[in-house]
Chain A
Amino acid sequence: MFTGTYVAQQLLNGVVLGSMYALLALGMTVVYGILRLINFAHGALVTVGAFTFFGIFVALGWPFSLALAAALLVGGVMGLLLDLVGYRKLRGGPEVSLLITSLGIYILLENFIKLLATPQPYAFRPPAFLTQLHNVSGVAFRTVDIFIVIVSVLIMVAFAVFVKRTKLGIAMRATAESVEAAQLVGINVNHVVAVAFVLGSAVAAVTGFMWGAKYGQIAYDMGFMAGVKAFVAIVIGGIGSIPGAMIGGFVLGLVETLAVGFLPPGFAEYRDAIVFTLLILVLLFKPTGIMGRKEAV
């Protein structure tokens, strides 16, 4: 049977994965809230972040903190560019145009990375201090696991303070509620959307670093499933709710890890199928998710 240690180990893994989903869901839900866009390109930013860090840290040999800062910066700039070049022109048109465009942007980025970095995956070795093994009464983990959870929580707290306490953050929530009313109080909606893209994309890029550091490997297509699952997390948490997106991320990370850890061994390969079955079940029985309000059709 499953020992307490085994359960604890699975829970830890679930929380680590959940932290990363939560970060991605956070960035996606802010954009979705305003534009009603499922931004497939969000997943590509994970790949961009991972490869940026990899290139600068491994290939150029720069220090860890600089490489991480570069990933953050590149992610943010990419987010801004996507908004300005890709999405801004389409606003106010059919929502589906935004969705299709984001699909195109995802494919573009993924294949651009494939072209630059070759189709083979790369072994991703984080700096030595992150790979140190620890063992607390049988539960094994590396420093990177703790790093991911702590940094994720810090980012989420910072974001919560931002939307709760700053004028721009309040404006962001207001714009998500009604674009027209936001304009009428003098909010420059384009500005708010750009900020949402920059923040979300920068966080996604950092998540890319975490992903590589946790799983030891990066590839040009690593971001796709991560991005789509982040949207599943948003649905689970309840569309339109920022705390919901984060909770949904953790729930999804735990469900995915625990399902693989506790179902018979043959089920491990159904991992992704389990996630999407969960999505369809949530849509069937509780489309508003854990924290969400009913969304107008």
Chain B
Amino acid sequence: MRRWTSLPGGVKFLIGVGLLFLVLFVANSTLNRYVLHVIILIGIYSVATTSLNLTNGYTGLFSLGHAGFMAVGAYVATLLTFPVRLRIAYNLPLLPHFLGGPDYQWPFLPALIVGGLVAAVAALLVGAPVLRLRGHYLSVASLGFMVIITTLAKGLKDLTRGAAGIQAIPRYTDIWWVYAWLVVTIYVIWRLLNSSYGRAMLAIRESETAAQAQGIHPMRYKLLSFVIGAFFAGIAGGLYAHFARSIRPYEFSFYMTFHIVIMLIIGGAGTLLGPTVGAAIVVALKYVLKPVEEGLGIYGLVEIVYALMLIGVMLWRPEGIAGGVNPLRFLVARKGERR
């Protein structure tokens, strides 16, 4: 154990990734489709939650618009990869030629990345006016952004087919795509935190005034964390669309944001692997409770349990459930003390 802790972080990270993929390989070849389905969803939500963690857990900003950024990523990536043979039937030849036009579709990876980039640009536009104000404004403005996005997704029928949504999206997302992106997301955030950018962000979370006194320009770092967070949220959205194979505007609602928030809080905001732990708990719980909810006809049970968990954690264990018990403490450990 002592040897393990004395290894350099990069080596530990590589070993961790190796182990992860070994486990996934075994899982993929032994478990049934239903369980794999849950594992993939956990991975997608982990990407989303980890990206929210960058914005919320480390810089102390609270974005409630994460589902909005996921929607942007989902719709953009879907429009780009949409199959040629279905474009006419779905009225998508109206798309400009560089977006695929009627003749060709984009491969998955560039489509995902463009989806993430568009989400990042949207974050820049929303964040720039709002981030110079008190943190609360960001919460409400980003929530507003989400509403604007879902309303647009409903309204721009030529592009999104409105409330009916887009179906027959090719299923590109598989367990490897998802967990590769999760590794990338965690890696980027981990590197970021150990750079001068990361130290500046943590300083801002502790005290904005003190950070300013050290010559840190808070606005720049807040915007950066917000934009990078939105990028990975967009990626998660794209992964989700190519997994669920259909997207509708109302899916990217306040409830999706709430679920990501609760994963973050339960897993432990401000920890590197906490979001993944939180996503696993919350998604798994849903698959356990949903049959109970439907069997007994008590609709709302899952959300009530989630809400009680969230309130309970806030009141009695604000560091999250994963905060203290995770065997991978070196990755979960908080950077700096949170007040």
Instruction: Tell me whether B28 is interfacial, beta carbon within 8 Å.
Output: no
A297-B144 in contact given A273-B151, A284-B129 (Cβ < 8 Å): no
A276-B145 in contact given A36-B136, A100-B310 (Cβ < 8 Å): yes
CB nearest to A111 among chain B residues: B300
Most buried by B among A86, A99, A104, A270: A104
Residue pair B137, A235 in contact (C-beta under 8 Å): yes
In the complex, the answer to whether B135 meets A280 with C-beta atoms within 8 Å is no
One of A93, A97, A100, A283 near B141 (C-beta < 8 A): A283
Given A90-B315, A107-B258, A111-B300 in contact, is the A280-B151 Cβ separation under 8 Å? no
Q: Are B137 and A287 in contact (CB under 8 A)?
A: yes
Mark contacts of A110-121 with chain B using CB atoms, 8 A cut-off: 1 yes-contact digit, 0 otherwise: 111011001100
- Is A99 a contact of B130 with CB atoms below 8 Å? no
| B-facing residues in A6-55 (Cβ within 8 Å) | 36, 38
Within 8 A of A (CB), among B129-180: 129-130, 132-137, 139-141, 143-145, 147-148, 151-152, 154-155
**Does A198 sit at the interface, judged by CB under 8 A?**
no
A96 interface residue per 8 A CB criterion: yes
With a CB–CB cut-off of 8 A, which chain B residues contact A90? 314-315
Main secondary structure of the interface of A (DSSP, over half): helix
Within the assembled complex, what's the spacing in Å between the Cα atoms of A91 and B306? Answer: 23
Q: Enumerate chain A residues within 8 angstroms of B308, measured Cβ to Cβ.
A: 104, 108
Contacts of B193 in A (CB 8 A): none
Whether, in the assembled complex, A195 has its beta carbon less than 8 Å from a beta carbon of chain B, the answer is: no
Q: Which residues of B contact A275 (CB under 8 A)?
A: 144, 147
Kindly state the interface size class of chain B when it binds its partner: 35 or more
B155: A residues at CB distance < 8 A: 266, 269-270, 273
Number of interchain pairs (Cβ within 8 Å): 137
The proximity string for B residues 298-314 relative to A, scoring 1 for CB distances below 8 Å and 0 otherwise, is: 11110110111011001
Alpha-carbon separation in the docked complex, A93 to B310 (Å)? 16
Contact indicator per residue, chain A 152-183, by CB within 8 Å of chain B (1) or not (0): 00000000000000000000000000000000
Q: Which residues of B contact A119 (CB under 8 A)?
A: 299-300
Name A268's closest neighbour in chain B (CB-CB): B155
Q: Determine whether the beta carbon of A115 is less than 8 Å from that of B140.
A: no
In the complex the two chains form, is B298's CB within 8 Å of A283's CB?
no
Q: Of all chain A residues, which has the CB nearest B148?
A: A273
| CB <8 Å contact, B310 and A103 | yes
B141, A280: Cβ atoms closer than 8 Å: yes
CB distance from A167 to the nearest CB of B (A): 30
Contact A104 B134 (CB under 8 A): no
Q: Is B221 at the interface (CB under 8 A from chain A)?
A: no
Closest 6 CB pairs of A and B: A276-B144, A111-B300, A108-B307, A104-B310, A284-B129, A273-B151
With A107-B258, A276-B144, A296-B134 known, 8 other A-B pairs at CB within 8 A are: A38-B140, A94-B338, A114-B303, A269-B154, A272-B151, A273-B148, A277-B148, A283-B129
A-B contact list, 9 entries, CB within 8 Å: A100-B265, A101-B311, A105-B311, A107-B258, A110-B303, A115-B300, A118-B299, A269-B154, A297-B208
